[in-house]
Amino acid sequence: MQILRNLMPLVVIVLASAGTNAGTLDTVKSKGAITCGVSQGLPGFSAPDGKGNWIGIDADFCRAVAAVVLGSPDKVKFRPLSTKEAFTALQFGEIHILSRNVTWTQTRDSALGVNFAGILYYDGQGFMVRRSLSVKSARELNGAAVCVNSGSTTELNLSDYFRTHKMKYSPVVFEKSDEVLAAYRAGRCDVFSTDQSGLYAQRLKLAKANEHMILPEIISKEPLGPAVRQGDDQWFNIVRWTLFALVGAEELGITKANIGSLSKNTGNPEIRRFVGTEGKAGINLGLDPKWAARAVTAVGNYGELFEKHLGKNSRLKISRGLNRLWNKGGLHYAPPIR
Amino acid sequence: MLIAGAVWLLGNIFDNLADRGIASGFGFLRSTAGFGISTSLIEFSEASSIGRAFWVGLLNTLLVSAIGIVLSTILGFAIGIARFSSNWLLARLAVIYVETIRNIPLLLQIFFWYFAVLRSLPGPRQSHELGGLFFLNNRGFYTPSLSLDAGGVAILFSVILLAVLAILKRGQKRVVKLCAFLASGLFIFVAVGAEFSLPELKGFNFSGGMVLSPELVALVIALSTYTTAFIAEIVRAGILSVPRGQIEAASTLSLPYRDQMRFVVLPQALRVIVPLLTNQYLNLTKNSSLAAAIAFPDLVSVFAGTVLNITGQAIEIIGITMAVYLTISLSIAFAMNVFNRNTALRGTSP
């Protein structure tokens, strides 16, 4: 089953004749919708609600791109994908954007035929254990059985960490996150390891979340961000600048609530360029001047997105940490629109 | 024509790959794996090569398939024969077994056994234990293990050979006695020279000794009970294919039921059973790839899973994986065909 799905794109590459890369922008416009690859259900990032709508910061990023390109945040088709399938699906054009908490690494950027458009969330790998084990630090995990997802950087970081600290561990590797959690819940392993944001999200699914704690150590850099297919610079630029627009909007104080009034009456030239009353930033992207304004109207600025899905207005209650703006001690920095 | 087509296809594949900036070639097999594998028959560490990870996965697949084939054959014959039992309860139970098991999807059964096994067992610190040597908990079944050097392995092997010889020549008392004498002498030799490693609780878990992981156990149980149901039906079909006259003739000679089965019915039924059995063995081997769902590191989980994601070279990896399954399947089919030729010949000379 899994193999079959992996093979589908292979058939495409075997039979397709070389050099038929139509511009993604044109494809998307003619189809009237963006196909967006998301996770198979990670609260806060992309998870279906009771009515089948995909909710989360990754899902909303795709809505922002749809608003920028097609004028409406609803023109998105979501495709849930495992880590294993995700890049193959993107390489062969089954999806237009991959927005599913995947880590930007050098190998993925250079050998997989995809390009990362930027960083939506600065994450790092962590560990969750039962409080009853009375472990206080990851350095005490020698000999532990660790449940992880297959086909992820998680598996490699884990092995690096234990090798570096000369500790032993026994990996228990599953294909789906739900199975990892089920095995952890059943006591098959002592430790659950994945990106820290993912641990907070998965912990909510456990019956007594308080009996589990997330250890303080972060053992890796996990920059998560949207990726597009390599070789279509126009589309790459659009996706990258949608991300910058969301971050830039927060810096300029443009919110979902005030963008309407700001569009009409502001003297601030930066904001005027942002909302498209001045300059021609949108036109150069192959869009119209109101592109960035539509993104913010659709989903809000980066800060609003974060607090809604991951931060204090969400069930996850993750502090912003590295994900603050550059001028507030974080890492998010958008180049100027001019 | 065909070759030209294949060449065009291959050329096209590599053009397309290069075009899309995707790496190709088999160089990745020599690079460092960088990930761990929990169950391995050969030595494997994170610093081993990806090629070695491939062998670990392959051996695990073969291990599960081999155990599964042996168990399901024994159980399948038992249940297939039980359906003809004059004991009403036994025959009914066999029917219920076959009809239940073969009508539930295998993947569900694997999950059932996995979580049934896990849930029913305690954590490492509350293990069931037997004499301080055997421990059972939700991390696996721990037994003492014996570490032998090459000489020790050779001696142990000759002990097994002697045992086999003794069984084959069980009519000749003197040979049997000699074998037993030699074997016990050698065995003492091994026991003195070998180092025993006992499992003991250290920190989180047991270390030392040998461990049978719950994944392996669940997978073997699920695969063999599932295939048993099909083999039982094949055995039933084989027995039904033996003309009634043969059984009646055997009863007339007042052969006991056991001997009727053993000497009259089964040898003839085998002619029908063996070719069909081959199919089931192939199915079992291929079904073992479902291991990936419950974290057993078989070929698909390790190679077409983890390695595929690390390297991203889907064409090479899926190609190798398919070639491996094809080779395993063809080998099993070949072995069974040879066996079939033997049974068929014996059957036709009355």
Domains of chain B: 50-119+215-348 (1.10.3720.10), 124-212 (no CATH)
**CB-based contact A16 B214, cutoff 8 Å:** no
A-B Cβ pairs (cutoff 8 Å, strict): 151
**CB-based contact B115 A133, cutoff 8 Å:** no
| Torsion-angle region of A286 (φ positive above 0: left; ψ -120 to 50: alpha; else: beta) | left
Considering Cα of A261, then A266, then A270, then A273, what sign does the dihedral take? positive
**CB-based contact A186 B138, cutoff 8 Å:** yes
Task: For chain B, say whether A113 makes contact (Cβ under 8 Å).
Answer: yes
Q: Which of A93-107, A171-185, B10-24, B255-269 has the lowest mean pLDDT?
A: B10-24
Residue A3 burial class via C-beta count within 10 angstroms: exposed 0-12, middle 13-18, buried 19 and up: middle
Q: Which of A15-24, A44-53, A129-138, A283-292 has the lowest mean pLDDT?
A: A15-24
Measuring CA to CA, which residue among A307, A317, A40, A34 is closest to residue A176?
A: A40
Tokens representing residue B123 in the block: 């954590």
Closest residue in chain B to residue A231, using alpha carbons only: B20
Nearest to B214 among A133, A168, A188 (CB): A188
Tell me: do A204 and A232 sit in the same domain: no
Arithmetic mean of pLDDT over chain B: 84
- For residue A266, pLDDT over 90 is answered with no
The CATH code of the domain that includes A252 is: 3.40.190.10
| pLDDT on residue B72 | 96
**CB-based contact B318 A2, cutoff 8 Å:** no
Tell me: do A130 and A118 sit in the same domain: no
Residue A271 lies in a domain: no
Task: For chain A, say whether B138 makes contact (Cβ under 8 Å).
Answer: yes
- For residue A308, pLDDT over 50 is answered with yes
Arithmetic mean of pLDDT over chain A: 88
Residues of B in contact with A174 (CB under 8 A): 293-295
Region A43-63: mean pLDDT is 94
| pLDDT on residue A22 | 63
In the stretch 42-71 of chain B, residues with CB closer than 8 A to chain A read 46-47
- Tallying the residues shown for chain A, one arrives at 338
- For residue A252, pLDDT over 90 is answered with yes
Residues of A in contact with B6 (CB under 8 A): none
Tokens representing residue B22 in the block: 């995707």
Residues of B in contact with A158 (CB under 8 A): 35-36
Residue A11: pLDDT band (50, 70, 90) is low
> How many structural domains is chain A composed of?
2
The set of long-range contacts for B65-69, using a CB threshold of 8 Å and a minimum separation of 24, is B65/B284, B65/B285, B65/B288, B65/B328, B67/B220, B67/B224, B68/B220, B68/B223, B68/B224, B68/B227, B68/B284, B68/B288, B69/B227, B69/B281, B69/B284, B69/B285
Tell me: do A62 and A139 sit in the same domain: no
| pLDDT on residue B193 | 61
Residue A261 lies in a domain: no
Tell me which of B172 and A107 has the higher pLDDT: A107
- For residue A52, pLDDT over 50 is answered with yes
> Which of A170, A194, A220 marks a domain boundary?
A220
| pLDDT on residue A8 | 53
Q: Which of A170-179, A329-338, B21-30, B281-290 has the lowest mean pLDDT?
A: B21-30
- For residue A204, pLDDT over 80 is answered with yes
Residues of A in contact with B20 (CB under 8 A): 13, 91, 113, 229-231
Angstroms from A165 CA to nearest CA on chain B: 13
Cα-flanking dihedrals φ and ψ of residue A126, to 5°? -135, -175
| pLDDT on residue A27 | 92
**Highest mean pLDDT: which range of A112-121, B10-19, B27-36:** A112-121
Tell me which of A112 and A118 has the higher pLDDT: A118
Tell me: do A99 and A167 sit in the same domain: no
For residue B339, the cross-strand partners are none
- For residue A166, pLDDT over 50 is answered with yes
Tell me: do A161 and A172 sit in the same domain: yes
pTM of the prediction? 0.74
**CB-based contact A83 B309, cutoff 8 Å:** yes
Hey, what amino acid is at A44?
G
Residue A335 lies in a domain: no
Task: For chain B, say whether A210 makes contact (Cβ under 8 Å).
Answer: no
- Residue whose entry in the numeric block shows the structure tokens 């084990």: A133
- For residue B3, pLDDT over 90 is answered with no
Alpha helices in chain A (DSSP H): 2-15, 24-31, 57-70, 83-91, 106-111, 153-164, 177-185, 196-203, 233-252, 259-264, 269-275, 281-284, 291-299, 302-309
Residues of B in contact with A19 (CB under 8 A): 19
| pLDDT on residue B293 | 86
H or E segment to which residue A223 belongs = strand A222-224
Tokens representing residue A14 in the block: 């075997």
Tell me: do A160 and A216 sit in the same domain: yes
In the stretch 149-188 of chain B, residues with CB closer than 8 A to chain A read none
Tell me which of B270 and B195 has the higher pLDDT: B270
Tell me: do A112 and A22 sit in the same domain: yes
- For residue A28, pLDDT over 90 is answered with yes
Tell me: do A234 and A144 sit in the same domain: no
Residue A333 lies in a domain: no
Please report the ipTM that was assigned to this predicted complex. 0.70
CA distance A308 to A310: 6
Tell me: do A296 and A198 sit in the same domain: no
Tell me: do A216 and A311 sit in the same domain: no
Distance of CA B54 to the CA centre of its chain: 18
Q: Which percentage of chain A shows pLDDT scores above 70? A: 93
> Which of A192, A220, A248 marks a domain boundary?
A220
B152-190 per-residue burial string, b: 16 or more CB within 10 A, e: under 16: beebbeebeebeebbeeeeeeeeebeebeeebeebeeeb
Region B240-262: mean pLDDT is 88
CA distance A48 to A56: 9
Residue A338 lies in a domain: no
Reduce the DSSP state of residue A144 to 3 states and report it: strand
Task: For chain B, say whether A231 makes contact (Cβ under 8 Å).
Answer: yes
Q: Which of A96-100, A223-227, A280-284, B52-56 has the lowest mean pLDDT?
A: A280-284
| pLDDT on residue B196 | 66
- For residue A1, pLDDT over 50 is answered with no
Residue B345: pLDDT band (50, 70, 90) is low
| pLDDT on residue B122 | 82
> Which of A169, A196, A220 marks a domain boundary?
A220
Residue A270 lies in a domain: no
pLDDT in tens, B263-296: 888 888 988 898 899 999 999 999 999 998 888 9
Task: For chain B, say whether A167 makes contact (Cβ under 8 Å).
Answer: no
Tell me: do A204 and A245 sit in the same domain: no
Tell me: do A179 and A311 sit in the same domain: no
| pLDDT on residue B66 | 93
Among A115, A188, A220, the strongest candidate for a mutation testing the B interface, having the largest count of B CBs within 10 A, is A188
| pLDDT on residue A63 | 97
Tell me which of A263 and B10 has the higher pLDDT: A263
Q: Are A221 and A124 in contact (CB under 8 A)?
A: yes
Tell me which of B301 and A19 has the higher pLDDT: B301
In the stretch 74-103 of chain A, residues with CB closer than 8 A to chain B read 83-84, 87-88, 91
Q: Which of A272-276, A287-291, B84-88, B204-208 has the lowest mean pLDDT?
A: B204-208
Tokens representing residue B111 in the block: 């999950």
Region A3-16: mean pLDDT is 51
| pLDDT on residue B147 | 62
Residue A98 lies in a domain: yes
Q: Which of A19-33, A210-224, B51-65, B154-168 has the lowest mean pLDDT?
A: B154-168
| pLDDT on residue B152 | 65
CA distance B204 to A95: 43
pLDDT in tens, B145-163: 766 566 666 776 777 777 7
Residue A330 lies in a domain: no
| pLDDT on residue A305 | 96
Q: Which of A83-87, B162-166, B346-350 has the lowest mean pLDDT?
A: B346-350
Among A127, A164, A170, A211, the strongest candidate for a mutation testing the B interface, having the largest count of B CBs within 10 A, is A170
Task: For chain B, say whether A157 makes contact (Cβ under 8 Å).
Answer: no
| Residue A176 lies in domain | 125-220
Q: Are B230 and B97 in contact (CB under 8 A)?
A: no
